[in-house]
Amino acid sequence: MLEVLTAGVLTTVQDHGRVGWAHLGVPRAGALDRPAADLANRLVGNPPGAAVLETVLGGLVLRNRGPGRWAALTGASGPEVRWWPSGGELRVAAPATGVRTYLAVAGGVAVEPVLGSRSTDTLAWVGPSRVVDGALLPLGAPVGEPSPLDVPRTPRLEALRIVAGPRADWFAPDALDRLCATTWTVQADSDRVGLRLAGPPLERARSGELPSEGMVLGAVQVPPDGQPVVFLADHPPTGGYPVLGVVHPADLWWCAQRRPGDAVRLRRAPVAPRG
């Protein structure tokens, strides 16, 4: 068991998410910075997709109430691997840069899965509850050896790759070019649902309402105020605003680590994203 002494701003359990339930209105959830979560699991010997803790801006304090285990911190904090003795405390400090830190413990966080995933969805609150002070989190049995070496993390992106979306014709002909030519600012209300950007409003060519339709991960939806939103892991499965573009899935991890006020740029990709 892990005992949560202080939960911090927002701490949730995340794995690879629950893909395949959008037709029932259930978002996928899962770690926003998946490469960081996967790295943390590899460092402690867990299989891919083992459940980890995702915490925002530090402040998480835990006590190990079981045998000693390996633990790893990645993302905004780390990478750092340590032996966590029985009865010892682990504190996640506020990171100097970035937003989300991932804590993997050998054996993985073994909360009860819901619809095949242990991820917390913060939109519909499917899955385990958010982690709170005093919570006890079960751990699974360690199954692998720690991996002390790994490939370097992908460097900071200069711009997010994007392709035209299915409703680009709802905007002015140069809207996608303007989206890519603008330096956008991350808004304070960004969350696991979407990275909300502020800048010169994007002009529509068509008015009126668009019927609700399916949304893909990374869709750049533009509401009537003209300020784009990049949909992340907890995005709704449907939406009623036009989608101007779609961010390449391999670049979405970078959105997980952007703070309010950070600058974001986009660039057109030569081919449609896959994955």
Residues 127 and 42 in one domain: yes
User: Domains in the chain: how many in total?
Assistant: 2
Residues 131 and 164 in one domain: no
Q: Report the alpha-carbon distance of residue 16 to residue 117 in Å, rounded.
A: 8
Residues 119 and 184 in one domain: no
Prior bond of 273 cis (ω within 30°): no
Question: Is residue 273 a part of any domain in this protein?
Answer: no
Question: Is residue 237 a part of any domain in this protein?
Answer: yes
Which pLDDT value is given to residue 155?
65
The residue range of the domain holding 110 is 2-137
Residues 128 and 225 in one domain: no
Q: What is the pLDDT along the chain (275 residues), one digit of tens a residue?
A: 999 999 999 999 999 999 888 888 888 999 999 999 999 999 999 998 999 999 999 999 999 999 999 999 999 987 899 999 999 999 999 999 999 999 999 999 999 999 999 999 999 899 999 999 999 999 999 988 887 666 666 667 889 999 999 999 999 999 999 999 999 999 999 999 999 999 999 998 888 778 888 889 999 999 999 999 999 999 998 888 999 999 999 999 999 999 999 999 999 987 655 54
Question: Is residue 257 a part of any domain in this protein?
Answer: yes
Which pLDDT value is given to residue 21?
87
Which pLDDT value is given to residue 132?
97
Residues 129 and 187 in one domain: no
Which pLDDT value is given to residue 88?
97
Residues 124 and 191 in one domain: no
Q: Which helix (H) or strand (E) holds 38?
A: helix 34-44
The closest of 93, 15, 26 to 54, measured between CA atoms, is: 15
CA angle 183, 188, 191 (to 5 degrees): 100
Residues 105 and 183 in one domain: no
Which pLDDT value is given to residue 124?
87
Predicted TM-score (pTM) of this structure: 0.93
Residues 108 and 164 in one domain: no
Phi-psi region of 132 (alpha: psi -120 to 50; beta: other; left: phi over 0): beta
Which pLDDT value is given to residue 211?
87
Question: Is residue 149 a part of any domain in this protein?
Answer: no
Which pLDDT value is given to residue 156?
72
Residues 170 and 245 in one domain: yes
